[in-house]
Amino acid sequence: MPNVLQRLTDAASRLAASPADEIWWVADALVRERGANAINACDIDVELESPLWVRSSMHDTWLMDYLAQGFMAIDPLILGAAQSTGSNWLDAGHMTREMTFSPLAYELNHQVKDAGYAVIQAETFAAPGPGVRRLVTVAFGKNAEQSGRANRDEMRLLMALISSHLAPPAAPDEPGMFTAFRSTLTVREHDVLCMLANGMRNDAVAHRLGIAEVTVRKHVLSARAKLGAATREQAIALALRSGQLAL
């Protein structure tokens, strides 16, 4: 226990001494020193069950696959964090098709392991502001899985320290920002969402813009992917909240 307390004290000192623009990299270094191979953090809108911002040190190839396949909308760690604070643990690659009604959830569980992340420890904390929770997760590769399990309590305390030092990013290009949240809506995606938000149907939007209805659906899907939204209604709400859409 004394060694754990000393390590946590040292970690707190390093975080406190770091400039704001270096906190993320210090946090990443701290979890890697304890055997993890990535850290993620986000603030979650409880009502929308969707992240307001996301930072990640997972590798870009996996993050782009995660975004492109719509995994964010059904990620059990995000959905769980929207429901309550506390701890969670994900064993990647262990889900069977009989364990879920969602083929996408099955694919996520197995593909995250294929990407090199065998287990993920998740901690959800209260965040500044009403209706928001902060989710911090650390991932371990197969070779570090056992040490990750053995040191869960220390990692939980470290993640609480990290959470207390992280601030919502002031700009989408800050260090570690998930690529999805660097992406802005195109003019056409903005126009489509705006018209839908004003009650127009797909066919009416297509007629107004002089495009095919299938193209309208493609713009909606693209906007949903950029915003991490499960539905068009959620995409509209997130675009409004982020300032990318004004009615």
Residues pairing with 136 in the sheet: 41, 123
Position 173 scores a pLDDT of: 66
Concatenated DSSP letters of 65-110: HHHHTTGGGG-HHHHHHHH--EEEEEETT---GGG-S-HHHHHHHH
Position 192 scores a pLDDT of: 94
> Is residue 104 one of the residues assigned to a domain?
yes
Strand 119-126, strand 50-56: pairing: unpaired
CATH number at residue 39: 3.30.450.80
Number of domains in the chain: 2
> Is residue 152 one of the residues assigned to a domain?
yes
CB 75 within 8 A of CB 113: no
Phi, psi of 86 (to 5 degrees): 130, -165
CATH number at residue 189: 1.10.10.10
Last residue of a domain, one of 162, 178, 194: 178
> Is residue 247 one of the residues assigned to a domain?
no
Confidence of residue 10 (pLDDT cuts 50, 70, 90): very high
Position 228 scores a pLDDT of: 72
Of 147 and 189, the structure prediction assigns the larger pLDDT to 189
The model's pTM: 0.76
221 has a pLDDT exceeding 80? yes
Quick one: 121 and 225 in the same domain? Answer: no
> Is residue 234 one of the residues assigned to a domain?
yes
Quick one: 77 and 92 in the same domain? Answer: yes
Quick one: 60 and 152 in the same domain? Answer: yes
Quick one: 131 and 233 in the same domain? Answer: no
Quick one: 167 and 224 in the same domain? Answer: no
SS3 (DSSP) at 58: coil
Q: 49-58, 148-157, 195-204, 215-224: which has the highest mean pLDDT?
A: 195-204
Confidence of residue 49 (pLDDT cuts 50, 70, 90): confident
Last residue of a domain, one of 129, 158, 178: 178
Q: Which domain holds residue 235?
A: 183-242
> Is residue 78 one of the residues assigned to a domain?
yes
What pLDDT digit, counting tens, does each position of 129-183 carry? Answer: 788 999 999 999 988 878 778 789 999 999 999 999 998 877 666 777 765 555 6
Quick one: 154 and 201 in the same domain? Answer: no
Last residue of a domain, one of 178, 201, 233: 178
Confidence of residue 68 (pLDDT cuts 50, 70, 90): confident
Gap between the Cα atoms of 82 and 174, Å rounded = 24
Quick one: 123 and 61 in the same domain? Answer: yes
Considering the chain, what is the average pLDDT of its residues? Answer: 88
What's the mean pLDDT in 121-133? 91
**Helices and strands counted in the chain (H then E):** 11, 5
Q: Which of 15-29, 57-71, 77-91 has the lowest mean pLDDT?
A: 57-71
C-alpha dihedral over 92, 178, 10, 3, to 10 degrees?
A: 0
Position 187 scores a pLDDT of: 84
Quick one: 157 and 191 in the same domain? Answer: no
Quick one: 55 and 76 in the same domain? Answer: yes
Position 73 scores a pLDDT of: 80
Quick one: 152 and 41 in the same domain? Answer: yes
Quick one: 86 and 191 in the same domain? Answer: no
Quick one: 209 and 140 in the same domain? Answer: no
> Is residue 82 one of the residues assigned to a domain?
yes
